[in-house]
C-alpha cells in the first residue's frame, strides 16, 4: 500500500496535468519526476535533482538508485519511470532492445577505475601491478556487472592478473570491504573513491584509461512526465550538469 | 470454512514457483545448469550446507537440551536470544559476523594472530554464516519436543540409577529423534538458501564462497534465463531434500 499510494497519486496528478494544455500561470502544479539511475550516480544526481527542483517550482524529483541491470529489469517488467541513466552502454542497449526507451540515449559522462585502499594506504600500494603481489587481499566487482567488466578489461590490456578474494556484486560492496579493513585494496570507480574520501584513500593508475565506461541517459517510453523527463535529460547534459558531475570525478564524453 | 484461506496460503507458496517455471526456458535448462560455474556453485552449496548442518547438530542439540531442562534464571532470556538470527535481516547478520570475525573484529584479530589466516572470503566463512542462520531452526524444533515430552522419563531413569550421560544417551536422545530429524532437514534447507549473510560476510568467488543463491544473483545481472534455471535447480534440490528426509524424520525412523 505504501508504494501504491504515491503511485496512484502520481498517476492522478499526471492525468490532471495532461488535461490542461494551456500553461498554468496562477497556480503552481506539483509534479513528480521519477529517475532510475545507476548506484554510482547517487551523490552527483542527488545534487542535480535538488538543483532541478529549485529551477522548476512544484517539481519533486524522486530517485531510484540501483545497479543498472536491476533497473533495466524493472523497466522491462513495466515499472513506471521517466528517465533512465545507466552506468554502461550494455545495460542501456538492453533497455533499448526491451523497447522501453523513447528516442536515442546520449552519453553524458564517463568513468574510470581507481584503486581504493585503507586510510593512509597502509600497504603502500602505488599502482595496479602492486595489487598482484602475494599476501594482499584484493576485492573486485564480478565480471557480470559494469565495474567488473571494466576491471577485466584493465587486466587484459595491462597484462596484470589479479587474484581477487571476492567478486562483489557492486562497487559499493567493494568499497565497504576496503572500508571495514577486510580487504587491503579494491578496484572501484574513481567517483566512488572520491565520494568516500575520508573513509578510504584513492590511488589512480594510468592503465585505467584502457577501460572507460560511458554513462548514457534516456527518456523512458510512455513516461508519465515526458516533458519534464526531456528537460531533466537536457539539464544533465548541460554545462551546469557537467560541472556537478566533474566534482565527483566523472569525465566528459 | 478453513478451505478458502488454506487454499490462498498454498497458492501464495506454489504460484511464485509456477511463475518461475512459466518464465523458464526448459529446453535450455540442462545446458544452463551444467555450466562449470553452476556445477561449482551446486557442489559448494551442498558441501557447505552439509557442514553447517553437522555444526548445527553438534552445537544445537546440547543448547536445546540446556534451554529445555535448565531451571536457571535467565534461561528464558537466552531462549529469546537464540531466535535472534531468525528475525535479523540476513545482511545485518552478515555485518555482525564481519564485525566479530572480520580482520578488524575482536575475535577475527585473535584468529589472524593465531593462524595467520583471515576468516572472511573463505569457505569456512560460508559455513559459519549458514550455521548462524540455520541453527535456530534446529534448536527450536528440539526444544519444543523436549518441553512437550516433559522430563518424567529422565527422572525415572535417574531414580533407577542411570548416570546423567546414560540418561541422555538412552532416554533423552531417542525421545528427540523425530524432532531432530525435522530440525536437521529444516536447517539444511535454510543453509542451502542462505544468501544475505554469506554475501556480506564471506564474499562471492566461484568455487570458494559463491554458493547457488549467490550464483543466481550474479547470473541475474547478465542472463535472466540462466538465473531462473539456477533458481529452479535450487528449488529442486530443496524439494528433494525435504521429500526424501522429511517423512522418515517425522516418523522418527532415523536411528
What would the pLDDT profile of A186-207 be if each residue is shown by its tens digit?
Answer: 999 999 999 888 999 999 999 9
Q: What is the pTM of this model?
A: 0.82
Q: What nine digits make up the cell of B161?
A: 540409577
In a domain, A22, yes or no: no
Contact yes or no for B205 and A166 at CB 8 A: yes
Q: CA-to-CA distance for B26 and B217, rounded, in angstroms? A: 20
Cell reading at B7: 487454499
Minimal C-alpha gap between A81 and chain B (Å): 20
One domain for residues A238 and A178: no
Residues A195 and A219 occupy one common structural domain: no
**Residue B76 belongs to a domain:** yes
**Same domain? A196 vs A221:** no
Q: Which helix (H) or strand (E) holds B197?
A: helix B196-201
Residues A198 and A122 in one domain: yes
- How much is the pLDDT for B25? 80
Confidence band (pLDDT; 50, 70, 90) for B172? confident
CA end-to-end distance (rounded Å), chain A: 42
Q: Does position B155 have pLDDT exceeding 50, yes or no? A: yes
A67 part of contact set with chain B, CB < 8 Å: yes
* Neighbouring C-beta atoms of residue A150, cutoff 10 Å: 26
CATH of the domain at A189: 3.40.190.10
Residues A124 and A205 in one domain: yes
Structural domain boundaries enclosing B92? 36-245
Cα–Cα separations (whole angstroms), residue A88 to A71, A139, A220, B68? 12, 21, 16, 56
Domain of residue A90: give its range. 31-110+214-247
B245 falls in which pLDDT band (50, 70, 90)?
A: confident
Tell whether B225 is within 8 A of chain A (Cβ).
no
CA distance A40 to A66: 8
Of residues A73, A168, A180, nearest to B204 (C-beta): A168
Q: Within an 8 Å CB–CB cutoff, is residue B220 touching chain A?
A: yes
Residue B52 near residue B134 (C-beta atoms within 8 A): yes
- In the sheet that holds A31-38, the strands lie side by side as A59-66, A31-38, A83-85, A213-220, A101-111
Q: How far is CA A123 from the centre of its chain?
A: 30
In a domain, A243, yes or no: yes
Closest-approach residue (CA) in chain B for A66: B221
Burial label, A221 (beta-carbon count in 10 A; 0-12, 13-18, 19+): middle
Which set of grid coordinates corresponds to residue B219?
547470473
Q: Are the beta carbons of B121 and A168 separated by less than 8 Å?
A: no
- Within 8 A of B205 by CB-CB distance, chain A residues are 164-167
Q: What is the pLDDT of residues A75-86, one digit of tens each?
A: 998 999 999 999
Task: For residue A40, say whether it is annotated as part of any ligand binding site.
Answer: yes
For chain B, the straight-line distance linking the first and the last C-alpha, in angstroms and rounded, comes to 40
State what percent of residues in chain B have pLDDT above 70.
96
Q: At what angle do helices A146-158 and A89-97 cross, to 10 degrees?
A: 130
A180 at interface of B, judged by CB pairs closer than 8 A: yes
Query: Closest Cα to residue B179, out of B146, B213, B226?
Result: B146
Q: A132 with A57, same domain?
A: no
Alpha helix ranges (H) inside B24-159: 29-33, 36-69, 75-82, 84-87, 90-101, 106-115, 123-149, 152-159
Amino acid at each position: 500500500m505504501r508504494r501504491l499510494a504515491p503511485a496512484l497519486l502520481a498517476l492522478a496528478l499526471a492525468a490532471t496535468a495532461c488535461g490542461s494544455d494551456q500553461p498554468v500561470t496562477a497556480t503552481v502544479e506539483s509534479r513528480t519526476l521519477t529517475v532510475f539511475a545507476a548506484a554510482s550516480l547517487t551523490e552527483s544526481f542527488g545534487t542535480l535533482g535538488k538543483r532541478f527542483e529549485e529551477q522548476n517550482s512544484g517539481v519533486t524529483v524522486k530517485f531510484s538508485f540501483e545497479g543498472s541491470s536491476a533497473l533495466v529489469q524493472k523497466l522491462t517488467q513495466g515499472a513506471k519511470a521517466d528517465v533512465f541513466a545507466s552506468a554502461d552502454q550494455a545495460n542501456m542497449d538492453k533497455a533499448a532492445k526491451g523497447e522501453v526507451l523513447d528516442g536515442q540515449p546520449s552519453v553524458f559522462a564517463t568513468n574510470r577505475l581507481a584503486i581504493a585502499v585503507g586510510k593512509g594506504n597502509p600497504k603502500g600500494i602505488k599502482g595496479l601491478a602492486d595489487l598482484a603481489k602475494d599476501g594482499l587481499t584484493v576485492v573486485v566487482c564480478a565480471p557480470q556487472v559494469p565495474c567488473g567488466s571494466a576491471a577485466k578489461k584493465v587486466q587484459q590490456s595491462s597484462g596484470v592478473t589479479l587474484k581477487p578474494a571476492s567478486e562483489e556484486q557492486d562497487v559499493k560492496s567493494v568499497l565497504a570491504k576496503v572500508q571495514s579493513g577486510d580487504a587491503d585494496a579494491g578496484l572501484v570507480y574513481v567517483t566512488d573513491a572520491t565520494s568516500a574520501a575520508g573513509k578510504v584513500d584513492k590511488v589512480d593508475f594510468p592503465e585505467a584509461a584502457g577501460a572507460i565506461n560511458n554513462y548514457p541517459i534516456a527518456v523512458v517510453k510512455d513516461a508519465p512526465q515526458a516533458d519534464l523527463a526531456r528537460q531533466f535529460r537536457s539539464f544533465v547534459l548541460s554545462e551546469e550538469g557537467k560541472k556537478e558531475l566533474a566534482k565527483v570525478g566523472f569525465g566528459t564524453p | 470454512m478453513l478451505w478458502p484461506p488454506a487454499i490462498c496460503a498454498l497458492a501464495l507458496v506454489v504460484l511464485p514457483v509456477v511463475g518461475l517455471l512459466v518464465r523458464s526456458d526448459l529446453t535450455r535448462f540442462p545446458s544452463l545448469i551444467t555450466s562449470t560455474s553452476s556445477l561449482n556453485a551446486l557442489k559448494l552449496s551442498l558441501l557447505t550446507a552439509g557442514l553447517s548442518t553437522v555444526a548445527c547438530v553438534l552445537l544445537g542439540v546440547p543448547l536445546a537440551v540446556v534451554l529445555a531442562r535448565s531451571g536457571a534464571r535467565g534461561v528464558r532470556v537466552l531462549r529469546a536470544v537464540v531466535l535472534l538470527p531468525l528475525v535479523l535481516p540476513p545482511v545485518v547478520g552478515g555485518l555482525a559476523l564481519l564485525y566479530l570475525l572480520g580482520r578488524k573484529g575482536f575475535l577475527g584479530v585473535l584468529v589472524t594472530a593465531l593462524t595467520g589466516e583471515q576468516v572472511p572470503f573463505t569457505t569456512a566463512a560460508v559455513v559459519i554464516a549458514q550455521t548462524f542462520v540455520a541453527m535456530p531452526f534446529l534448536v527450536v524444533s528440539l526444544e519444543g519436543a523436549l518441553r512437550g515430552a516433559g522430563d518424567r522419563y529422565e527422572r525415572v531413569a535417574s531414580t533407577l540409577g542411570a548416570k546423567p550421560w546414560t540418561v541422555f544417551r538412552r532416554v533423552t536422545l531417542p525421545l528427540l529423534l523425530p524432532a531432530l530429524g525435522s530440525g536437521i532437514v529444516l536447517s539444511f534447507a535454510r543453509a542451502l538458501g542462505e544468501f544475505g549473510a554469506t554475501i556480506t560476510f564471506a564474499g562471492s568467488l566461484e568455487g570458494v564462497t559463491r554458493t547457488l543463491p549467490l550464483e543466481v544473483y550474479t547470473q541475474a545481472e547478465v542472463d535472466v534465463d540462466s538465473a531462473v534455471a539456477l533458481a529452479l535447480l535450487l528449488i529442486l534440490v530443496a524439494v528433494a531434500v525435504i521429500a526424501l528426509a522429511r517423512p522418515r524424520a517425522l516418523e522418527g525412523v532415523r536411528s
